[in-house]
Amino acid sequence: MCSYKEQAADSMAFTKSSILPYNTLPSLSHLTYKDYNNIYEPREDSYLLLDVLKHQYGNPASPGFARHTPSRVVEVGCGSGIISVGLGMLLSAQLPSVEITMTDINSHAISASKQTVANNQTTLSSSTQFTFELADITAATPPPTPSTDIIIFNPPYVPTPTEEVFLPSRFPLSTTAAAAADTCCVGDVISAAWAGGVDGMEVTNVALPILKRSLTPATGSLFLVVVDDNRPRLICDWWVRGGPPPEMTELVETKVENAIDMPPGGGFEVVGRRQAKNEFLSIIRLYSL
């Protein structure tokens, strides 16, 4: 396996020829600026992720289908719903059936995603089944996830002070993600889409071991969005070796209080990389063995 650095350099060759034409993207015409006050508006990371999924699952000869024919997809943090619906458009043209579950801790995102599915129904096969779950992947006892072929995770990756990270589990009087969201202002809830705490990794450190346990053994793939500030080489090393989260800048016990050890084994592949203003975005495919 090539190193993360070597793969990242090669992935910069993922050029404009891979970019999805606008007329093949899911329509978000039903969403307004008021909606984007409450949910994450698709940006460079969203479109890079869509381009990667097109490359991986755009036709029967694509790399994703060469590995495995997926039947179950989960997106953690669905936001507007553009990613799951975009992948659904690709898969529904080639598979007899697929189940896509869209989860978020923000009830506004669940509502918007339902609208996005409805607004793009003519481009989706009736055999593509969408379900929606209000859920917190960082909860002390996260909801169980059935064995999943594809997991998509565009986490809150921007380095911020810990205080800016929105986690429903930090609100002890709340028993559900919805109740926690109701105790906060809109700014707190929307920050869940981008504020990542120390090194942008406070949410990812908790979520990754849980997601790895949810992948279908031997064939499952997790598509993870990162920026270089997240120190993705350490993420890849941790995924392969297992154990507790690696030190990023500094890990204080309370910041990873719900973290569990990563199961050992697996591999990684940098499947997309692009510069967006002053940061470098990468998509890493983390897979089980």
Amino acid 248: pLDDT: 60
Distance from the Cα of residue 16 to its chain's centroid: 23
- In a domain, residue 107? The reply is yes
Q: pLDDT of 110-147, one tens digit each?
A: 999 999 999 999 999 888 999 999 988 877 665 556 68
Q: pLDDT of 191-241, one tens digit each?
A: 889 999 889 998 999 899 999 999 999 999 999 999 999 999 999 999 999
Angle between helices 82-92 and 107-119 (to 10 degrees): 30
- In a domain, residue 222? The reply is yes
Q: Are 213 and 172 in contact (CB under 8 A)?
A: no
- In a domain, residue 20? The reply is no
Residues with Cβ within 8 Å of 168's Cβ and at least 6 positions away in sequence, in order, are 105, 136, 138, 139, 174, 176, 177, 179, 180, 181
- In a domain, residue 13? The reply is no
How many domains would you assign to the chain?
A: 1
- In a domain, residue 31? The reply is no
Print the domain residue range for 48: 43-57+69-246+257-287
Instruction: Please give the backbone phi and psi of residue 276, each rounded to the nearest 5 degrees, phi first.
Output: -130, 100
Amino acid 97: pLDDT: 93
Q: How confident is the model at residue 277 (pLDDT cuts 50, 70, 90)?
A: confident
Instruction: Please give the backbone phi and psi of residue 280, each rounded to the nearest 5 degrees, phi first.
Output: -105, 120
Q: Look at the chain and count its residues.
A: 289
Residue 116: CATH number of its domain: 3.40.50.150
Q: Which of 64-73, 150-159, 176-185, 195-204 shows the lowest mean pLDDT across its residues? A: 176-185
- In a domain, residue 37? The reply is no
Residue with the larger pLDDT of the pair 5 and 168: 5
- Residue 74 clears pLDDT 50, i.e. is over it: yes
- In a domain, residue 157? The reply is yes
Residue-by-residue DSSP string for 144-187: P---BSEEEE----B---GGG---GGG-TT--SHHHHHHTS-HH
Q: pLDDT of 16-63, one tens digit each?
A: 455 565 557 899 999 999 999 999 999 999 999 999 999 999 999 999
Mean pLDDT for all residues in the chain: 85
